C-alpha cells in the first residue's frame, strides 16, 4: 500500500505504508540513533512529531513490552528507509509493522531519508502530514501548512498521568544486567510532564522510592509529600508555553534539591528567569557529544529536544555546566545555592550510551 509524506514547503515523498492505514500531521524531525526505535516511538516527548530515522534499516530486532518507555506509541508517524522483512530476536514478541498497526500509528518506508534529512537540516524542522489514505499531493501539502507546529504549544497537558502513583516496578530491565541493589532510603517526587520510564528505573537504582505526580501539580501539592528531592521530567512541546509548570518549579526552588532532565531542564531554566528558544532542527539521537565543563570529560549522550535554554540569559548564581560540542548550545546548568541542577540530554539512556548515569548519583548525593 502507498503512503505519502508531505512537507509544508510543498515537497512530497511517496513510499510504502506500514503500521496503521491512517493519516496524521506533525512536526517532521529526524533521529540519528542506529538502534532504540521502540524507546523512541514510546517517548512522550515526541508527541505531535513525525520521526525520521537516519539509519537506513529499522525493525531488525522486533519489539517487546520490556522496552517501552511509556504505556503507548507516542510519535505521530514513523519514517524509515527500509523496514526489516525478517526481524529476529529472542526478546521480540511482535514485529515493528504489527506494533505500529496495533497502536494506530502510520509508518512509511522506501523514501530517500537522506534527501529528507538534508532538507530538514537546511530549512529547519518542518510541519508535515503522513498519510496512507490520501493520494492527492496538493491536499496533503495544504494540511501540512495548516498544522500549528510546536512553538507556543503546551502538549504537556495531553500526556500527564491522570493522578499520582508510586513506581513499583523497581529496576525493570536493569535487573537483567544485575546492577547492585541499593535499599530505597530516599523519597523523590517525580513531576511527570511525559516521563520516560527508564528515569524511574534509574532513580530506583540509586536507592530512591519514587512518587510520581502529574506535571500539572502545584508547588504546594509537590511539597505536601515532604520528599528528600524533586525530579522534573522530560516532556513534549514548547517549555515556555507551560506557565503552570514554571510557576510550580519557582515555588519549590530552594526548598528541596531539584534535578531536571530535558523539558525539566528547560523549566528549571525558565523558573530561574532564563529564556528558551527553538533550535533550527533540534538534537535527536544517541551520539551527541557533550562536554562536562567541571571535569573536562566528554560524554556521548542520548538527546531528543527542539528547544534550548539561552545561557546568556541565566541569572547570577546559575552556572552552565555542560555544553554540546556540535553546536555549543547549553546542555546543563547548576544553581549551587538553590541545590538545583539539570541536563538537556537523557542520562537515563533509553536507548543510548550510559556515559551520563553519574548524574543520578549526583542527585542522590545532593539529597544528603
Ligand X SMILES: NC(=O)CC[C@H](N)C(=O)O
- Of all helices (H) and strands (E), which one includes residue 264? helix 263-271
Residue 227: closest CA among 166, 169, 159, 162: 166
Contacts of 263 (CB under 8 A, 6+ apart): 45, 156, 193, 194, 232, 233, 234, 235, 236, 237, 239, 242, 305
> Binding marks (x or -) toward ligand X, 36..75, rule CB under 6 A?
---------x------------------------------
Q: Pick from 304, 329, 342, 356: which binds ligand X (CB under 6 A)?
A: 304
Beta bridge partners of 52: 30, 79
The only residue of 31, 63, 204, 234 in contact with ligand X, by rule CB under 6 A: 234
Q: Which member of 69, 262, 265, 305 is catalytic?
A: 262
Q: Is 8 a catalytic residue?
A: no
Q: Give the C-alpha separation, 349 to 89, whole Å.
A: 21
In DSSP terms, which residues pair with 13 in a beta bridge? Answer: 5
Q: Is 314 annotated as a binding residue?
A: no
Residue among 32, 74, 40 nearest 56 (CA): 32
Q: Which of 19, 59, 235, 285 binds ligand X (CB under 6 A)?
A: 235
The residue from 36, 236, 269, 347 that contacts ligand X (CB under 6 A) is 236
Which one of 174-182, 288-296, 300-308, 327-335 is the stretch in contact with ligand X (CB under 6 A)?
Answer: 300-308
Annotated ligand binding at 356? The verdict is no
305 forms part of the interface with ligand X (CB under 6 A): yes
The residue within the footprint of ligand X, chosen from 306, 332, 347, 352 (CB under 6 A), is 306
State yes or no: 116 annotated in a binding site: no
Under 8 Å between Cβ of 120 and 281: yes
Is residue 134 classed exposed, middle or buried when 0-12, 13-18 and 19+ CB atoms within 10 A define those classes? Answer: middle
Question: Of the two residues 263 and 318, which places its CB atom closer to ligand X in the complex?
Answer: 263
Q: Which is nearer to ligand X, 132 or 267 (CB)?
A: 267
Residue 262 is a catalytic residue: yes
User: Which residues make up the interface to ligand X (CB under 6 A)?
Assistant: 45, 234-237, 239, 262-263, 304-307
Amino acid at each position: 500500500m502507498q503512503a505519502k509524506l508531505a512537507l509544508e514547503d510543498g515537497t512530497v515523498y511517496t513510499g510504502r505504508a506500514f503500521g496503521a492505514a491512517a493519516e496524521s500531521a506533525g512536526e517532521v524531525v529526524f533521529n540519528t540513533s542506529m538502534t532504540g526505535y521502540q524507546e523512541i516511538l514510546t517517548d512522550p516527548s515526541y508527541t505531535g512529531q513525525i520521526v525520521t530515522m537516519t539509519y537506513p534499516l529499522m525493525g531488525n530486532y522486533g519489539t517487546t513490552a520490556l522496552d517501552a518507555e511509556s504505556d503507548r506509541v507516542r510519535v505521530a508517524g514513523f519514517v524509515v528507509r527500509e523496514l526489516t522483512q525478517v526481524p529476529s530476536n529472542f526478546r521480540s514478541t511482535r514485529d515493528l509493522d504489527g506494533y505500529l498497526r496495533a497502536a494506530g500509528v502510520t509508518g512509511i518506508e522506501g523514501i530517500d531519508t537522506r534527501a529528507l534529512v538534508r532538507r530538514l537540516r537546511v530549512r529547519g524542522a518542518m510541519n508535515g502530514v503522513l498519510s496512507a489514505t490520501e493520494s492527492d499531493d496538493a491536499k496533503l501539502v495544504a494540511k501540512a501548512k495548516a498544522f500549528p507546529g510546536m512553538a507556543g504549544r503546551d502538549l504537556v497537558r495531553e500526556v500527564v498521568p491522570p493522578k499520582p502513583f508510586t513506581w513499583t516496578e523497581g529496576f525493570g530491565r536493569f535487573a537483567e544486567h544485575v546492577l547492585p541493589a541499593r535499599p530505597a532510603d530516599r523519597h523523590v517526587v517525580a513531576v511527570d510532564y511525559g516521563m520516560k520510564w527508564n528515569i524511574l528505573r534509574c532513580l530506583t537504582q540509586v536507592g530512591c522510592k519514587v512518587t510520581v505526580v502529574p506535571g500539572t501539580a502545584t508547588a504546594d501539592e509537590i511539597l505536601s509529600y515532604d520528599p528528600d528531592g524533586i525530579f522534573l521530567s522530560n516532556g513534549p512541546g514548547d517549555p515556555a508555553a507551560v506557565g503552570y509548570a514554571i510557576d510550580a518549579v519557582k515555588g519549590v526552588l530552594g526548598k528541596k534539591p531539584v534535578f531536571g532532565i530535558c523539558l525539566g531542564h528547560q523549566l528549571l531554566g525558565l523558573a530561574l528567569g532564563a529564556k528558551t528558544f527553538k533550535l533550527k532542527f533540534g538534537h535527536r539521537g544517541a551520539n551527541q557529544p557533550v562536554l562536562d565543563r567541571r571535569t573536562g570529560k566528554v560524554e556521548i549522550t542520548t538527546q531528543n529536544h527542539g528547544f534550548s535554554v539561552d545561557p546568556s540569559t541565566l541569572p547570577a548564581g546559575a552556572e552552565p555546566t555542560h555544553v554540546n560540542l556540535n553546536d555549543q548550545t547549553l546542555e546543563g546548568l547548576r544553581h549551587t545555592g538553590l541545590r538545583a541542577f539539570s541536563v538537556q540530554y537523557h542520562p537515563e539512556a533509553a536507548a543510548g550510551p550510559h556515559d551520563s548515569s553519574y548524574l543520578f548519583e549526583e542527585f542522590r548525593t545532593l539529597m544528603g
